[in-house]
Chains A and B, each alone.
Chain A
Amino acid sequence: MSSASEFVMRLYRAASGLLPRGFPDDYGAGMEAMFRDEWRARTRVGRVVLVGRAAADLVWTAITVRVLGTHGTRLEGGTTMTMWTGWGMDLRTSLRALARAPLFTGSAALSLALGFGGVATVYALADQMLLDPIEGVRDADALVELTPAGLPYPVVQDYQRAMRTLSGVAAHRARTAALELGPGADPRPVPVGVVSANYFDVLGVSPERGRLLTPSDSLQGAPLVAVLSHAIWTELGRRDDVIGTDVRINGAAFRVVGVAPAGFSGLRLWTHPAVFIPVEGWNAASLGRTPTVDRRGWGWMAAVARLAPGASVAAAVEEVRDVAEQIVTAHPENEADLAQVGVVPARLRAADEAGGALPPLLLALGGMALLALLAAAANVANLLLSRATRRARELSVRAALGAGRARLARLAMVEYGLLVALGAALGLGLSVVALRALGAMPLPGGIRIDVAGFRPDPFYLTAACLLLLLVVAVAGIAPALASGRVSSSLAMSDRSGGGGPRGGRLRAGLAALQVGVSVVLLAGTLLFGQSIVRALGVDLRFTPEQLAVVRIDASLFRDDRAAASSAVSRLLEQIREQPGVDAASWSTVAPLTQDRETETFDIVGRAWPDRRPSVEINAVGGDFFEASGIPLVSGNAEAVAGPVRTPTVVVTESMARRYWPDESPVGATLAIMARSSRWRPWRPTRASTDSAVTPGRWSSACSPPCPRLR
């Protein structure tokens, strides 16, 4: 016999060790001889198959012989005692055993609950934020979003006309507006879904009542129409006569033509539009701030699309790039909007419009939750083994009285199954509480996490339950099987405890695993804490502790821009009169929030090798720097204090280093596309000697340079 064959035979003999003690003694030689005969009778390929089958055969034989004996125990009268009889008795015995050991039951159930609760919570978050966040649409997996998110509406229409790999491209954007649900009703700020007429068609959404938007709603001179969300319709008592009535959005009347179905709440997890209107309708509801929605220079729309049957994301990316080039050729002013185009699955944009931040965060959280579950499982396994050691005498007595290994294993399985059920129930409770607590947690940038309506996911709950069952099955049943080998004489003596060297090694291994996982978790927690401490300790160069920020929703003033402006002025005056207030001002972006406004700019007199750069921008009122406490590094402090006289730009140190590395930016003139103006390319905003520089880091995550404009 060749050495390879000899090796396989030795392997088979070693693997026979899996079989319960006794069985290989009786039949091992015969099995090995039969395997050898089969081996000799086969060719090379057949031998590979034989080895695979032999492995499966040994494992299955080991399991069945351990659990059932050879084939169940034959009783008198021809009936067979199998693993399916006597469950009720085992259940009662297990309940009594658990109740008699409250400390063990409590600690094990709590451990399981913590691990289970952590996994259920994190995976519910991951599922609803990344894997399956879009509800109420047809075949959400075929939905994609075009990147970047801020596209001019005419560009989205260009895509809709040109794309072949996408069966439809729709524009959508949620804008806050004042909604009045009926005559005399108080206006309240709500998210309004400003969408293209084909939006519902692309998403595959059917109306709950009435109709959804149609292409005729976007024609010039078409009446203003709106589709209510199911939530708002419910608020109105789910009356059918709501169809045909008017609601007011920022003072403009919109005729209700239909109701969106239950379960559909838009494409963003954090923003659920209360009402949907056609993009063209936003002209009437935008308080006069936006002259027209079809400007090619205003990138404000997100584009959602459906992959055509048989088309892949990769093919769509290729085509989007080609179409973008055609658009830029025809409309050079869109070059900046279409600098880096792409296509991503729509579900990845639901919770994180900018993209990129969530997956690593959730991956890290998911990893930590799994480790916590592993630590909990190791802890419980160790508890079970210790308990088995203490119960060795009881199990041996049962064995001596005639209970087979299968019966003892089943008893253990029932007992630990009950334990898992208890832990899972507690963990589920913990998960629900944790998800509610997360919902109530205030997040930076005004994100309302409760809007997402997080709830534990049945799939992950079942998976976590099965994992825990597997752990307790391995940890709980092994000692029971081992105890079946203890002789009855030992059972009656005081030497029955211990669990033997194998049990000791298992316990030591589990303890090592528990300590190892705990160390990893502890280290992770410490690093996380250290990161938070460092983040909190970042030198902002000003003291935010003495700042108070008031948010004002100008849309509540309906279409009266002058009234909004004078109300803000009056408010500022009243604030300034309050005792303890040194200064008050306004800005479009509050420091240390996630708010962003980005514009392209030009430095007058400088030629750019590539395209013009863009920066984050913040329009601020007089006294902003005094009120915020942000110091000026250089420049004319007088020029940026007090009432606005001339347009002045203040740039951050990081922007100064980037664009004026060897000189002072003070005195430079910037040309900035001011947001409130009509599209006039490169209206210069003078900044001459009034320019000043502030330290960086006063925006929360200001990686690009941040000029501040006033």
Chain B
Amino acid sequence: MPRRDPEALLPLKPKPFHILLALEEGGPLHGYAINKSMGERSGGTVSMDPGGLYRLIARLERDGLLGRTEAPPDETDERRQYVDITDWGRAVLRAEARRIAGLAALPSVRDLAGPGA
């Protein structure tokens, strides 16, 4: 398999970024848990409906950033579909995190954001 460059997929849009971040921190997760995690982390500004979320999951799965996984043994609802971040997804997420951190470290960005940021 040819070596791929995660930078080629950057920048990530906020929703894919939040999905990958939720999976990285708490994965594997099902749709509702991902949405809840995104909502908590973004202070309620990022929220998705099932169709939109699963359309995005389908795209991320097709691009290899996440994959289906087995439900944990304690799961009682068999219809819940669990996904988890892949190594490739983790590499892309890290690249995006570095990009954001680099931006945030810029003095002019800090000045623009103000003292409370």
**A and B together in one complex:** yes
Q: A residues bordering B, Cβ < 8 Å?
A: 19, 23, 26-27, 29-38, 53-54, 56-58, 60-62, 64-65, 70-71, 74, 78
Sample of 20 more A-B contacts, CB < 8 Å, known A60-B51, A71-B59: A19-B51, A27-B54, A27-B58, A30-B30, A30-B79, A31-B31, A31-B53, A32-B50, A34-B30, A36-B77, A37-B30, A38-B35, A53-B49, A54-B51, A56-B49, A57-B49, A58-B51, A61-B51, A61-B52, A65-B55
In whole Å, how far is A73's beta carbon from the nearest beta carbon of chain B?
10
Contacting pair A34 B57 (CB below 8 A): no
Of chain A, the residue at the smallest CB distance from B57 is A27
Contacts of A27 in B (CB 8 A): 54, 57-58, 81
Given contacts A53-B49, A57-B49, whether A70 and B80 have CB atoms under 8 Å apart is no
Q: How far is the CA of A74 from the CA of B79 in the complex (A)?
A: 30
Given contacts A60-B51, A78-B8, whether A34 and B35 have CB atoms under 8 Å apart is yes
**B63 contacts partner chain A, Cβ-Cβ < 8 Å:** yes
Of chain B, the residue at the smallest CB distance from A37 is B32
Contacting pair A23 B32 (CB below 8 A): no
**B62 contacts partner chain A, Cβ-Cβ < 8 Å:** yes
Q: How far is the CA of A380 from the CA of B80 in the complex (A)?
A: 45
Contacting pair A74 B30 (CB below 8 A): no
In whole Å, how far is A258's beta carbon from the nearest beta carbon of chain B?
63
Contacting pair A29 B81 (CB below 8 A): yes
30 contacts between A and B (CB under 8 A): A23-B58, A26-B58, A27-B58, A27-B81, A30-B31, A30-B54, A30-B80, A30-B81, A31-B31, A31-B51, A32-B50, A33-B31, A33-B32, A33-B77, A34-B35, A34-B53, A34-B54, A34-B80, A36-B77, A37-B31, A38-B35, A53-B49, A54-B51, A57-B49, A57-B51, A61-B51, A61-B54, A65-B55, A71-B59, A78-B8
Q: B residues bordering A, Cβ < 8 Å?
A: 8, 30-32, 35, 49-59, 62-63, 77, 79-81
Q: How far is the CA of A33 from the CA of B54 in the complex (A)?
A: 12
Contacts of A33 in B (CB 8 A): 30-32, 77, 79-81
Of chain A, the residue at the smallest CB distance from B51 is A61
Given contacts A33-B31, A38-B32, whether A61 and B55 have CB atoms under 8 Å apart is yes
In whole Å, how far is B70's beta carbon from the nearest beta carbon of chain A?
14
Q: How far is the CA of A373 from the CA of B55 in the complex (A)?
A: 38
Residue picked from A27, A54, A62, most chain B C-beta under 10 Å? A27
Contacting pair A74 B31 (CB below 8 A): no
Q: Is the interface of A mostly helix, strand, loop or mixed?
A: helix
Given contacts A37-B32, A38-B32, A53-B49, whether A32 and B79 have CB atoms under 8 Å apart is yes
Given contacts A30-B30, A32-B79, whether A54 and B63 have CB atoms under 8 Å apart is no
Contacts of A23 in B (CB 8 A): 58
Contacts of A32 in B (CB 8 A): 50, 79
Contacting pair B63 A34 (CB below 8 A): no
Contact of A71 among B30, B55, B77, B81 (CB under 8 A): B55
Contacting pair A34 B32 (CB below 8 A): yes
In whole Å, how far is A46's beta carbon from the nearest beta carbon of chain B?
13
Contacting pair B55 A34 (CB below 8 A): no
In whole Å, how far is B79's beta carbon from the nearest beta carbon of chain A?
4
Contacts of B32 in A (CB 8 A): 33-34, 37-38
In whole Å, how far is B98's beta carbon from the nearest beta carbon of chain A?
19
Q: How far is the CA of A53 from the CA of B53 in the complex (A)?
A: 13
Residue picked from A30, A32, A58, A78, most chain B C-beta under 10 Å? A30
Q: How far is the CA of A400 from the CA of B30 in the complex (A)?
A: 35
Contacting pair A57 B50 (CB below 8 A): yes
Q: How far is the CA of A377 from the CA of B29 in the complex (A)?
A: 49
Q: How far is the CA of A29 from the CA of B68 in the complex (A)?
A: 13
Contact of A70 among B31, B50, B53, B58 (CB under 8 A): B58
Contacts of A37 in B (CB 8 A): 30-32
Contacts of B79 in A (CB 8 A): 29-30, 32-33, 36
